[in-house]
Amino acid sequence: MKRLQNKIAIITGGAQGIGKATAVKFSEEGASVIIWDVNEEKGIALVNELKAKNVKAHFIKVDVTKIDSTEKAAKETVELFSTIDILINNAGITRDASLAKMTVEQWQQVIDVNLTGVFNCTKAVIPFMIEKKYGKIVNAASVVGLYGNFGQTNYVATKSGIIGMTKVWARELGRKGINVNAVAPGFIATEMMKTIPENILKSLEEKTPLGRLGLPEDIANAYLFLSSEEANFINGITLSVDGGLIV
């Protein structure tokens, strides 16, 4: 049997990058996939790709920074699919600058999407999981949330916060049948990384003991494991998927 057979999975930021790889992976493992994203064009295109493979998929345009948007999307998901089994809090942005140069707007944009967005999506979904006494929530953290990174005060703050929230929610929701865990990716070859100069990318590869950048599929595989029945007794952890960057 496929590992997510008949499961209903929401993937935020699922229209591209790691989110898209996760949507493809989950669909291959038998899940019905609901993409929550602000990018309607790419989201609908992905859903059409999945449907062409006879996968049950749906796109909902969601602004994760707005609680009314996430609550509406959760209700629509349940109306269409009857339940919610899995929430992958994958949506995130960067607005990098050193502390001296970072604007209040840059700070707030990242906080709103990466931290408040995770709160809003989880807050909207958990009533349905609590009702059925089952759920898997996986939050996207980052290795920089564990050790910091130059020029990313806002991003690091959100990812450190997500690690903390994951531990709290594991305690609060575990007794209600809901597992809450986080994945901390290292340097992953996504569209976001294409803005980085070639020489810096090379240095990042050299810093990684496995000698390469991670692939979106590497993170999708971690999401898959923590969303599967194989991870039923795993709760409150942050799984580093970084090629050995932090050992």
Instruction: Write the pLDDT tens digit of every residue in 131-186.
Output: 999 999 999 999 999 999 899 999 999 999 999 999 999 999 999 999 999 999 99
246: in domain = no
- Per-residue pLDDT tens for 20-42? 999 999 999 999 999 999 999 99
Q: How many domains does the chain have?
A: 1
96: in domain = yes
Average pLDDT, the chain: 95
3: in domain = no
Question: Which positions are annotated as active-site residues?
Answer: 155
- CATH code of the domain containing 55: 3.40.50.720
2: in domain = no
- Side-chain-side CA neighbours of residue 222 (13 Å): 26
209: in domain = yes
170: in domain = yes
In the numeric block, which tokens belong to residue 129?
């999981």
**The residue to which tokens 């969601």 are assigned:** 62
Calpha distance 59→29 (Å, rounded): 19
12: in domain = yes
Within 8 A by CB and 6+ apart from 138, the residues are 86, 87, 88, 89, 180, 181, 182, 183, 223, 226, 227
Q: Which domain holds residue 230?
A: 8-241
247: in domain = no
Residue 193 clears pLDDT 90, i.e. is over it: no
